[in-house]
Each structure stands twice: as structure tokens, then as C-alpha cells.
């Protein structure tokens, strides 16, 4: 079958109304094999262009990985959603001329960084970043966020399940960078890569975000109920937490057993996949999350579990009253003298302390050394950067 090659531009649309109004920045196609987000953005932009009074705030629709999108591949040399780490960002900040080696994704990273920086430098905020994705298995739509209260607040406006805790497993995502800078940033996964409904859900999501961030004009006739209906699935809403990740090793030949649907219940001991060593089994019960049904990707699957409502409430209250300051009163817990957002936990003394307590207070486990665990929290959690 002949394929039509569509040429895309980095900036699908730019609606720049006022430097002091809310600014929504939506990125699609950070993974080149996920064109649904880009298609949805093109449709929304085309509709907005017909109505000069549609927006009160600012809206930028941006393509993530242009070169990979052109080839329909997740990435060409490396995953663009894993390279937003401090050292790589320093390279792009200094300009690519000084870089020793420039691969396709370094170039994408550089251009995207430049584009985002330009927007941030010329507006006062508040800024809202959205990253649109699709998955390789059948799936209900969901939002995925780093667990910061500012992200939770925006995410709960959508009628979809919300997945917390990705930052403990995945480094260098675009949204982690955005969050680190102190801005709200949430990811939306609309469904299977090639499902036409994934495009409609992305569209509905962008419309609702324009509305909820105050970017859309009050007079714009948006049927919010209808958009919510498009996003609603049979799968229950609420917050879920990542509890286990099967990271695919360098030489592992990983094959997911066929037929798993995102959020499907699995029981401890169930055979989920196969690799060269034999069966890969579920180490705990819960729901399977993002089972891998494509050749590239480094996560085989995750297991998630529902976060009880009282835990969410409690964590929100404790963070607002800065309860975490009390953690260092516990035996075996001290603050890193150089990094105030980091706690050093001596496991010989504090082994009774549950991981969940740190999660409640917004800390995530970063590193494990022989006798110590390092927990870090984000500088901006309760309030976004001003």
C-alpha cells in the first residue's frame, strides 16, 4: 500500500494573545510512531484559526520529534523522551556547535528546547504543558503525571484515570524537565497507536485543557459534557500508583504474552511474558500497565495499584503544612547537607520506615546504596513557579 508522507512543521499553531495571560503548550509526536497527537493538534488549530475571538490566553501546538515522525519510528537514534536530563540540556543550552556528537534526537532536543524557551521567555505564565502520546496495546485513555500537587490539580479536571509515580522509574522525560523548572506538566495517553478514536480523544483533551486553563474565551461554544463523554471509559477513574516495572535488559529477548489490555487485572505468579530465561511472572497482584507490544521500548510492563482516597487527601494536607520538615526527627533520616530537597535514609536504623510514607510526602526513591536510600522531592510541588 502506498503511504502518504505528510510534511509537518515544528510549530503547528501559535496563538499569541497577551504576554501576561495563561499559556497552554501542547506537544504531540515526541515519539514518531505516535502521530495521533499531531493530527489532533492540526484539527484543533484549524478550528481556532477560523475564529479570531476563540482564545483569551495563549496556545502553542508543537511537534516533538519531526524526523522520527516523518519515518513513522518511535525514534531514530535514541528516545527523545529520555534525554531531558541535566547534562544533555546543558549541551543544548550551549548550542550544538560545541557538542562533540550530534545525533538526530540531539537536534530535535535542541530545536524543541529553543522553541519552548522562547515561549517561556516572552510570557509571564502561568504555563501549562501537555504531552500527547499513544500506547502499543488496547487501552482506556489515561493521564500520567509526576506526583506534584500542581499536576494533580489540573489532572483531576479530566474524567480519566491518573497514574502517579513514573518519575521513580523513568529518567529524562520532557515533562520531568518541565516539572523540575516549576511548571505544571501532564501527559495524556489516548489509546492504541493506530486506533482512530485515539485522535478524537486527543482532540477532546486539548479542547478541555484550553477550557480548564482559562485559555479559551468564555464565549467560545464548547460542549464540555460532550468532550468529557469522548474521554470517559469503562475503566474506573481515580489515582493509581506504579508499583513494579519490568525493565528490559540490554540483551533480553522480551515477548509479552498476547492479549493483555492496559489496566487488566493480574495476579501474583501469573505468567505475563517470556524471555530467553523462560517465563516472566507477575511479582505482585495488581493491574498490568503499558504491556509492550512493539519492538522498541525499554519497559516490558508495569504493575499499578489504586491509591486509596484517604491517602491522597492525607498526602495533600501533609504537603501543604510542610510536614516533611518533621521527617528528619525520625531516627536514621537526615537531610543532605548540600541538597535541601534530598533525604538520606540509613536503612540499618530506619528499616521500619515504609516507602509509602515518603511517597505520601512527595518524596521519591532515587538511589539505593548498600546501607542508604536517597529520597528526593521536587522544589515545586504545592505551588507552581511564579
Nearer to Zn ion, 220 or 293 (CB): 293
Nearer to Zn ion, 261 or 326 (CB): 261
Piece in contact with Zn ion (CB under 5 A), picked from 126-134, 150-158, 219-227, 360-368: 126-134
State the minimum distance, in angstroms, from the CB of residue 135 to Zn ion. Answer: 7
Helices (H), ranges, the chain = 36-49, 66-71, 86-93, 104-121, 149-155, 174-180, 196-212, 224-231, 309-320, 347-350, 355-360
DSSP state of 81: G
Q: What is the spatial distance between Cα 37 and Cα 16, in angstroms, rounded to a whole number?
A: 21
Return all residues near 279 (Cβ < 8 A) that are at least 6 apart.
Answer: 271, 273
Counting residues that bind Zn ion (by CB under 5 A) gives: 3
Nearer to Zn ion, 32 or 57 (CB): 32
Piece in contact with Zn ion (CB under 5 A), picked from 44-52, 130-138, 159-167, 260-268: 130-138
List the grid coordinates of 109: 532536543
State the minimum distance, in angstroms, from the CB of residue 124 to Zn ion. Answer: 30
Provide the sign of the torsion angle of the four alpha carbons 45, 51, 54, 56, taken in this order: positive
DSSP codes joined into one string, 304-342? EEEPPHHHHHHHHHHHHTTGGGGGGGSTTEEE-SS-TTE
Nearer to Zn ion, 31 or 107 (CB): 31
**Residue 133 binds to Zn ion (criterion: CB under 5 A):** yes
State the minimum distance, in angstroms, from the CB of residue 53 to Zn ion. Answer: 34
State the minimum distance, in angstroms, from the CB of residue 57 to Zn ion. Answer: 26
Nearer to Zn ion, 34 or 147 (CB): 34
State the minimum distance, in angstroms, from the CB of residue 193 to Zn ion. Answer: 9
List the grid coordinates of 312: 491522597
Please list every residue from 34 through 93 that binds Zn ion, using CB under 5 A.
Answer: 34
Piece in contact with Zn ion (CB under 5 A), picked from 20-28, 30-38, 156-164, 281-289: 30-38
**Beta bridge partners of residue 256, listed in sequence order:** 273
CB contact burial 291-306 (16+ within 10 A = b; e otherwise): bbbeeebbbbbbbbee
**Residue 193 binds to Zn ion (criterion: CB under 5 A):** no
State the minimum distance, in angstroms, from the CB of residue 58 to Zn ion. Answer: 25
Piece in contact with Zn ion (CB under 5 A), picked from 23-31, 89-97, 236-244, 248-256: 23-31
Nearer to Zn ion, 53 or 295 (CB): 295
CB contact burial 26-39 (16+ within 10 A = b; e otherwise): bbbbbbbbbbbbbb
Piece in contact with Zn ion (CB under 5 A), picked from 128-136, 230-238, 352-360, 369-377: 128-136
Please identify which residue in 31, 177, 287, 359 interacts with Zn ion, judged by CB under 5 A.
31
State the minimum distance, in angstroms, from the CB of residue 78 to Zn ion. Answer: 14
Q: What is the spatial distance between Cα 213 and Cα 24, in angstroms, rounded to a whole number?
A: 7
**Residue 8 binds to Zn ion (criterion: CB under 5 A):** no
Return all residues near 19 (Cβ < 8 A) that are at least 6 apart.
Answer: 122, 123, 124
State the minimum distance, in angstroms, from the CB of residue 236 to Zn ion. Answer: 23
Q: Which residues bind Zn ion (CB under 5 A)?
A: 31, 34, 133
Amino acid at each position: 500500500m502506498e503511504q502518504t508522507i505528510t510534511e509537518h512543521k515544528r510549530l503547528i499553531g501559535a496563538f499569541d494573545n497577551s504576554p501576561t495571560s495563561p499559556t497552554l503548550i501542547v506537544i504531540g509526536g515526541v515519539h514518531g510512531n505516535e502521530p495521533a497527537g499531531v493530527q489532533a493538534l492540526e484539527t484543533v488549530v484549524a478550528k481556532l484559526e477560523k475564529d479570531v475571538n476563540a482564545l483569551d490566553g495563549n496556545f502553542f501546538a508543537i511537534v516533538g520529534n519531526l524526523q522520527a515522525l516523518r519515518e513513522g519510528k518511535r525514534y531514530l537514534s535514541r528516545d527523545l523522551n529520555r534525554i531531558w536530563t541535566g547534562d544533555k540540556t546543558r549541551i543544548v543550552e550551549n548550542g550544538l556547535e560545541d557538542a562533540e556528537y550530534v545525533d538526530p534526537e540531539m537536534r530535535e532536543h535542541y530545536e524543541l528546547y529553543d522553541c519552548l524557551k522562547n515561549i517561556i521567555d516572552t510570557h509571564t505564565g502561568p504555563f501549562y504543558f501537555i504531552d500527547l502520546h499513544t500506547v502499543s496495546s488496547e487501552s482506556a485513555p489515561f493521564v500520567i503525571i509526576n506526583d506534584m500537587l500542581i499536576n494533580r490539580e489540573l489532572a483531576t479536571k479530566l474524567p480519566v484515570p491518573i497514574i502517579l509515580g513514573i518519575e521513580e522509574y523513568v529518567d529524562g522525560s520532557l515533562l520531568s524537565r518541565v516539572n523540575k523548572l516549576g511548571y505544571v506538566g501532564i501527559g495524556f495517553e489516548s489509546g492504541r497507536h493506530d486506533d482512530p478514536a485515539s485522535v478524537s480523544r486527543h482532540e477532546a483533551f486539548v479542547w478541555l485543557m484550553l477550557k480548564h486553563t482559562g485559555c479559551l474565551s468564555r464565549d467560545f461554544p464548547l460542549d464540555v459534557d460532550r468532550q468529557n463523554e469522548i474521554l470517559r471509559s469503562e475503566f474506573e477513574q481515580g489515582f493509581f500508583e506504579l508499583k513494579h516495572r519490568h525493565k528490559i535488559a540490554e540483551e533480553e529477548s522480551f515477548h509479552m504474552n498476547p492479549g493483555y489490555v492496559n489496566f487488566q487485572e493480574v495476579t501474583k505468579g501469573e505468567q505475563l511474558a517470556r524471555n530467553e530465561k523462560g517465563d516472566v511472572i507477575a511479582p505482585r497482584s495488581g493491574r498490568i500497565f503499558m504491556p509492550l507490544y512493539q519492538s522498541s521500548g525499554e519497559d516490558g510492563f508495569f504493575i499499578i495499584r489504586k491509591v486509596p482516597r484517604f491517602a491522597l487527601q492525607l498526602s495533600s494536607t501533609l504537603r501543604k503544612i510542610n510536614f516533611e520538615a518533621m521527617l528528619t526527627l525520625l531516627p536514621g533520616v537526615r537531610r543532605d547537607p548540600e541538597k535541601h530537597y534530598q533525604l538520606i535514609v540509613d536503612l540499618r536504623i530506619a528499616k521500619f520506615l515504609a516507602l509509602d510514607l515518603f511517597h505520601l510526602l512527595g518524596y521519591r526513591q532515587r538511589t539505593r546504596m548498600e546501607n542508604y536510600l536517597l529520597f528526593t522531592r521536587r522544589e515545586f510541588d504545592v505551588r507552581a513557579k511564579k
